[in-house]
Amino acid sequence: MEKTNLNRIKAVLAEQNRTGVWLSQQMGKNVATVSRWTSNKVQPSVEQLYEIANHLKVDVKDLLVSNEHR
C-alpha cells in the first residue's frame, strides 16, 4: 500500500526555515514524535494540529494536504 501524505507540516517548517527540533521545543514534545508527524508516519490529533498552526502562525488548513489534489 502506497503511503499517502496527509499533512504538510514538514513543508511549512521548511518554508519558514524552521526545524522539527524547534517545533518539538515549542510544543514540549519529543523530537521523535514531531519527526513521525513531519514524515507522515503518524498524524497529530486535531488539537495538536491547531497548536502547530498557532506556533507556525498559519491557518490550520495550510498544514493539511487538500483532498482535491490527491
> What confidence score (pLDDT) does residue 7 get?
97
Q: Is residue 57 part of a domain?
A: yes
Is 4 among the domain residues?
A: no
pLDDT tens series, the chain, 70 aa: 567 899 999 999 999 999 999 999 999 999 999 999 999 999 999 999 999 999 999 999 999 998 875 5
- Domain with 58 in it: 9-64
SS3 sequence, the chain?
A: CCCCCCECHHHHHHHCCCCHHHHHHHHCCCHHHHHHHHCCCCCCCHHHHHHHHHHHCCCHHHHECCHHHC
Is residue 29 classed exposed, middle or buried when 0-12, 13-18 and 19+ CB atoms within 10 A define those classes? Answer: middle
The answer as to whether 46 is a domain residue is: yes
In this prediction, residue 2 carries a pLDDT of 60
**CATH code assigned at 47:** 1.10.260.40
14 inside domain: yes
Q: What per-residue confidence (pLDDT) applies to 61?
A: 96
Number of domains in the chain: 1
Q: Which grid coordinates belong to 43?
A: 498524524
